[in-house]
Each structure stands twice: as C-alpha cells, then as structure tokens.
Amino acid sequence: MAFYEDPLQITFILTAIYIIICMFMVITVEKVMQSTYWLIMMLVGVAVTFLLANSEIIFAFQISIYAGGIAVLLLFAVLLTEHDDAPFPNTLSKFLRATWMQLIIFLVLAVNMIVLILDTVDKPDYLREAGGGTPNVLGDSRIPVYGDENVAGAFEITENYTLFLWDNFGPVIPFLGLLLLAALLGSVKLAIREWDIEELSDEMKAQILKSEAS
C-alpha cells in the first residue's frame, strides 16, 4: 500500500510538517518567550507521533514531563531572568559568523544520519518488520491504539517500539546525541554576552577590579 492510501501515514506526515514549522518558529521568532511557547507546541507534536506509533505510555510521559513540567521550568526561567529579546542574529552574515562551526558539525551529522536512515529502510529485515511493501515509519500499524484491554499490552507495545527503534536505527542514536551537544554549544555561544563593567553594581565592580589586580 502506498503511503498516501494509509490515513496513519498521512497523519504522520502532517504531524511531521507541523513539528518542522514549530521548530523553525522556535529559532526565528523575535522574543525568547515566543520561542518557548513554540517549543511547547513542538513537544506536543512529538507526543502525537508517539501516539501514532501506538506508544501510549511514551505519549503520556512526553506530554506530562516535556510539554508540562519542563515547559513550566523554561517559562519560569525565561520570565524571571533578564535577557535580550531577539537572540537570533538579524542578518544572515551575522548569523553565519556566530555559528559557522556549529553549522558545519550540523551538516556533517545530518548527512550522516540521512545516509544511515536510507541505508536502514532498504534492508529486507526492516521491510519485513514494517509489514512489507512501503517502509512504514510508524512501526506496526496493525496494533490498534484503541481496544487494548490490558495495561501490560501498552507496556509491551512501548517495549516493542523501543526495540524496533534500537534495532533499526541504533547507529543513528549516538549521532543524535552529538547533534544535541552541538546544539547546546551553539545556544551557549549565542546566549553568552560580554559584560560592560559600567553596567555592574559598585560592589561587583570593586570585586572584579580586585580580582584583576591580583
């Protein structure tokens, strides 16, 4: 069955487009607070993909921990600290100058990841597991989300999902970790700011002058 005949696949593609739009908004909007709520929307979208993959438990934890708990933490941090709005460099040349190293790392990792994914989805094992025919990015769509009487079943589905991901996309996962590290370093570099000594309080000024003198 082609992907456009399967409602599940269409829903997945729509969700994926939604997630990409939200991610784009996160890094391009003007205010940090706006980035935060776009990030929350993105995390909800990710939760929906878990639901589509029949992993209800991961869905519940994704929503309650990431879209709920971590989001509140981020919002408190953003609202209770002083920060510049417009953290995103406003011209392309500035952006490239600030992030050229991260961009290179990102491109290398992204190419690597795409090659690995394309390599995996061509394997006969993967095609068999995904139900033959078209590669099914959502795992086994024959397991219904509805009508799962026993809770053990839900855990089983989650376990299967994890095994499925780990078996088929195992090599990709360390690269994802590296990608996250690169993103973290990039954001630290973007957020770091050179302090002007005139802006500081007298106490701190005295302390800095003392440490410089020593």
Partner 1 sequence: MAHDPPEPHDPGLPFSDLFDFITGERWDPSSATLILIGSFLLANYIMINQLIAPWVERKVMARQQGRRGPMYVGKWGVLQIPADLLKLIIKEDLRPAGADRVGFFISVMIISVTAILSFAPLPWGSQGLIAGNFSIGILYIFAIFSVFPPMMMVGGWASNSKYALLGGFRSAGQLIAYEIPMFISVIGILAVVGSFSLLEITEDQMENGWFLFRYWGFGLIAGVIFFVAGYAETERIPFDIPEAEAELVMGPRTEFTGWRYGLIMMTEYLHLFINSLLFIYLFLGGYDPIPIPLGGVEIFGNEIISPDFAKGFRTNLGVQFVTMTAKIYLLVFVAAWFRSALARFRIDQLLTLGWKIMLPIALISTLFILGIDPEVQAFSRRT
**Binding footprint of partner 1 on the chain (CB under 8 A):** 31, 33-34, 36-37, 40-41, 44, 56-57, 59-61, 63-64, 67-69, 71-72, 75-76, 79, 144-151, 153-154
- Cα 78 to Cα 34, 38, 185, distances in angstroms: 10, 14, 19
Nearer to partner 1, 89 or 153 (CB): 153
Contact, 145 vs 54, CB < 8 A? yes
Taking the C-alpha atoms of residue 21 and residue 27, their distance in angstroms, rounded to an integer, is 10
Nearer to partner 1, 16 or 74 (CB): 74
Closest contact distance (angstroms) between CB of 31 and partner 1 is: 8
Closest contact distance (angstroms) between CB of 212 and partner 1 is: 39
Contact, 189 vs 99, CB < 8 A? yes
Closest contact distance (angstroms) between CB of 57 and partner 1 is: 6
Could you tell me the two tokens for 6?
A: 């399967």
Nearer to partner 1, 12 or 50 (CB): 50
Contact, 155 vs 57, CB < 8 A? yes
Closest contact distance (angstroms) between CB of 164 and partner 1 is: 19
Nearer to partner 1, 43 or 182 (CB): 43
Contact, 88 vs 33, CB < 8 A? no
Closest contact distance (angstroms) between CB of 174 and partner 1 is: 29
Could you tell me the two tokens for 149?
A: 């009487």
From the list 25, 53, 28, the residue with the least C-alpha distance to 164 is 53
Nearer to partner 1, 46 or 63 (CB): 63
Nearer to partner 1, 46 or 154 (CB): 154
Taking the C-alpha atoms of residue 1 and residue 4, their distance in angstroms, rounded to an integer, is 8
CB count within 10 Å of CB 106 equals 16
Closest contact distance (angstroms) between CB of 137 and partner 1 is: 22
- Amino acid sitting at position 72: V
